[in-house]
Chains A and B, each alone.
Chain A
Amino acid sequence: MGGSSPCASCKLLRRRCAKDCIFAPYFPSDDPHKFAIVHKVFGASNVSKMLQELPIQQRGDAVSSLVYEANARVRDPVYGCVGAISYLENQVSQLQMQLAVAQTEILCIQMQQESTQILQDHKLFLLPTNNNLDTISQYLNSASSVIQDPPPLKRESLWT
């Protein structure tokens, strides 16, 4: 009958790993580096307090984010995760600018297409072709038989 091996945290802290050890579910003994890095940046005591404040179902995610932050801080001791945040915010700004430029280009193309269409329609109206010359002369002939000379204008005062 052997006892279970201590978790990575208790192994590093050289203490007995209790059954209800708060670290044990998240820092297994086969990954000592994970706890080592979190302990280096945050300290075991702070991590323990943080986990105790959270409901059990959220502790796994909390540990993952602490490990991520700790790794970022070890890689970049000056800026940590803030360096990554600045970089990503910059990328978002650049992409939004590129998107605005592309959307403006679409508007310009649409406007060009519309003005080209208007011009084409206008030309068709102003420059009669052989096809519509006959139609126009027929119209004029039929219109002249209907239109009578207008009656002479009576001069009336606008003030009466």
Chain B
Amino acid sequence: MGSGRCAACRYLRRKCTDDCILSPYFPSNNPQRFVSVHRIYGASNVSKLLQRLPTHLRAEAADSLYYEAQCRLEDRVYGCVGLIFLLQQQIHAAESQLIKTQAEIAVMKSQVQHP
């Protein structure tokens, strides 16, 4: 019979109780997931954050914390905010191009009507 500890309790070398708040979201078969989140947020902060949420939202919260932690580990300066800047630039470029294309259409249509 194995210890059955979740990844968090295994990493923190503590007993994993039946009501461990981290256990559903940090299973033992994915230790790296907890390590990433712990490095950026700390187990205590993650527990507090999850405790404040209703149970049905905790899985999504754990996933988004993991996503952001991974972004921060890959980009130590900007984390996921770097991606936000990039997307905002893409939106600006696409909007400009769309306005330009729509203006071209208006000119072409007016040429057809008044050759």
Contacts and interface: CB of A to CB of B under 8 A. Distances in A.
Interface majority SS (helix, strand, loop, mixed), chain B: helix
A68 B76 contact: no
A61 to B, nearest CB: 5
Contacts, number: 113
Interface in B13-52: 39-42, 44-45, 49, 52
Interface residues of B, number: 41
A109 B105 contact: yes
Interface of A is mostly: helix
Given A42-B41, A78-B53, A88-B84, A66 B79 contact: yes
A69 B112 contact: no
Contacts of A69: 68, 72, 79-81
Nearest to B62: A78
Contacts of A42: 40-42, 45
B21 to A, nearest CB: 14
A85 B87 contact: yes
Interface residues of A, number: 42
A20 interface: no
A98 B41 contact: no
Interface of B: 39-42, 44-45, 49, 52-53, 57, 60-61, 64-65, 67-68, 72, 76-84, 87-88, 90-91, 94-95, 97-98, 101-102, 104-105, 108-109, 112
